Amino acid sequence: MVSTRRRGLSPVVGVALMVVIVVLLAAVLGMLATGFTDSLVEPRPAVSFDVTYHPDGEDNSGNGAYINVTHEVGSIEDGSQVKVVDGEGNSIAWEDVWTGGEVVGPAGEYAHIDGEGSDSVLVPICEAGQHYRLVIEYEDGSSRTLLDYVVPSEPNAVSPNC
């Protein structure tokens, strides 16, 4: 004789599984809707800079040593958000330096920093160890350092303002 017994899941087990899935889905969607909105911020730019130090002040019209901060990769649409800051906290916008522009980019654009002329608000390079930073300031008041540079050696030519 052949047995025709069938085994199956009780409808209660199926309903319980469906309830668990719905609760988990609701929890995940609720977390996405409320939990992450506070952490959403403007994406930080992926940019890169290189610094060339000219301790002899060559081609600088007697203004002493200088650095060129050269933009290598990425772009920042608003050059007024990017500031060159010296060790004393003085700052100037990238777009206000005579070699800078309204947009930080394309690659190869540079800011000539010597503490004279258009960037005279900055301290001129007078000695090794002086500190310069490139900082981006966001509309929400936050900021991020894009470049941190310390003058590596004594300049051979110094500004008359040293």
Tell me, yes or no, whether 155 lies in a domain: no
In the predicted structure, residue 161 carries a pLDDT above the cut 70? yes
Tell me, yes or no, whether 15 lies in a domain: no
Tell me, yes or no, whether 139 lies in a domain: yes
Provide the Cα torsion 83, 87, 90, 91; round to 10°.
Answer: -10
Which helix or strand (DSSP H or E) is residue 111 part of? strand 110-113
Measured CA to CA, the distance from residue 42 to residue 75 in angstroms comes to 15
Q: What percent of the chain has pLDDT over 70?
A: 86
Tell me, yes or no, whether 162 lies in a domain: no
Does the pTM surpass 0.95? The reply is no
Tell me, yes or no, whether 134 lies in a domain: yes
* Joined tokens for residue 81: 């958000």
Tell me, yes or no, whether 141 lies in a domain: yes
Measured CA to CA, the distance from residue 1 to residue 124 in angstroms comes to 104
Q: Please say whether the beta carbons of 68 and 111 come within 8 A.
A: yes
Range of the domain at 87: 48-150
Tell me, yes or no, whether 113 lies in a domain: yes
- Reported as a single tens digit per residue, the pLDDT across 23-63 is 999 988 887 777 665 566 656 667 889 999 999 998 888 88
* Joined tokens for residue 54: 């000219």
Tell me, yes or no, whether 95 lies in a domain: yes
Give the number of domains in the chain.
1
**Residue 42: per-residue pLDDT:** 58
Mean pLDDT of 106-117: 88
List the one residue out of 146, 14, 161, 9 whose CA is nearest residue 82: 146
